Amino acid sequence: MDQTACIDLPAFPLQFLLRKHPDWRLYPAAVVEADTPQGTILWINEKARIAGIRTGMRYAAGLSLAGGLRAAIVTENDIADEVAQLTELLRRFTPFVEPGKDEPGVFWLDAKGLLRLFGSLSEWASSLHAEIVRAGFVASLAVGFDRFALYAVAKGRRKGDSPLFRSK
């Protein structure tokens, strides 16, 4: 049976935005669907949540709760470019990388045949996770045999551990 890994980068559009504007990490920050007062807030960081901002609110409502709210649009092209760059980064660890088709920030990796290079799957996974963190991302990683179970474990690991919050 082939071993597989699932990587989850939660709130991927927000992570992209905060990598693009690292100084925004100090403030309430959000991804909005439109840069207008009526634009919907899609993703928020912990500082925004503490200020009372929630996903689904209008941008103007968020600003009324936190005057220092930083917000911007993240386009589909931004996401596609970031996924492509991450795919290349992950290919340093295995030639078989499959980005999640319907969920940006989820990646599937083939973990077979790597023991000679890394010594153990645990060392491979640790090195892989360290590289993702070094690139500036919050991520969780699960290695095993069943894709559904790995997806559930990778998604579940971030609960309460991440300063990022997901929209609907």
pLDDT band for 1, please (50, 70, 90 cuts): low
The 10s digit of each residue's pLDDT in 55-110 is 999 999 999 999 999 999 999 999 999 999 999 999 999 889 999 999 999 999 99
Closest CA to 39 of 13, 61, 9, 12: 61
Give the DSSP per-residue string, 68-110: T-EEE---HHHHHHHHHHHHHHHTTT-S-EEE-SSSTTEEEEE
Q: How far apart are the first and last CA of the chain?
A: 35
CA distances from 3 to 42, 59, 94, 103, 155 (A): 34, 44, 12, 21, 18
**Identity (one letter) of the amino acid at 163?**
P
